[in-house]
Structure 1
Amino acid sequence: MFLGTHHPKLDDKGRLTLPAKFRDALAGGLMVTKGQDHCLYVFPRAEFEQMARKVADAPFTNEAVRAYQRYLFAGTDEQRPDGQGRVSIAPELRRYAGLTKECVVIGAINRLEIWDAQAWQRYLDEHEESYAEAREEVLPGVF
């Protein structure tokens, strides 16, 4: 399970060092893809393959399904962390997420999300109020 917030830096070669606590879970390979809200998703390879099968099983006769499949699969890059836990973020993915030197990596249960640090702060500022309201919608009667 991926949890927590980390603040790695993107180096001049477009590499990002993954948090040490996640490296074992990602050692077998990972998939970096465009996420919602202009962040990047990082899935362990097995998790991505499971999700990809579900996406592939959707009826491709539906225009929205075809568009989603194209966007997801064309924007995915397979990576294997190097000995220092670094992965290369493809230029197109860096552009999509607006990644600069300062990044934020958050754990989101089954995936990591990579954000530009300023974009992450803006997201938090814009959504902090709705967090309490969303709890009731996401987990009615739990808290």
Structure 2
Amino acid sequence: MQFLAQVLTQEHVVPIFMCQNEPGLCDEWDPRAGGNTAFVFPRDGLAAAQVPAEGETKLPEASGITSTVIDGVPYEEARQQWATDTGRVRREVLGQLGGEPSWLQCDETPSCRSCAQPMPFVAQLEQGLSRTEINFGGGSGYVFACWPCTEATFLWQS
């Protein structure tokens, strides 16, 4: 599994992973097939791991992002508004936190494995533009979490 992103909420940390095999070898678009996963951890008490004093450590790419709040409009309209306001391309928008998913296909909101309730939407991720872009087959990734059951899931559509 390759680490893709980490979403921070007020109370939780949700790390997201996807199969790193050649495209098509894992069913990483399916939230239940094992080709991707997400976890829920309480934010309180977490601390960054210490870098080992010896040995090889690898972090080929790291990126930080900035956030812009655009309230009251659907995600795709917010992306366009941001692009217009900044003079940059919509593809530079790397996703949204909260709100409603902007499904590329049909609604695939998953149910929690523990309580069987529909999982609340947490974030939508986009491929991005850089050499660190995520391969969603030209599509978007979707993160859901059931906070009471501390379960999360990830899927993508193209």
Q: TM-score, normalised by structure 1?
A: 0.31
Q: TM-score, normalised by structure 2?
A: 0.29
Between Structure 1 and Structure 2, the one with more strand by share is: 2
**Does 1 or 2 have the higher relative contact order (CA < 8 Å, sep 6+)?**
1
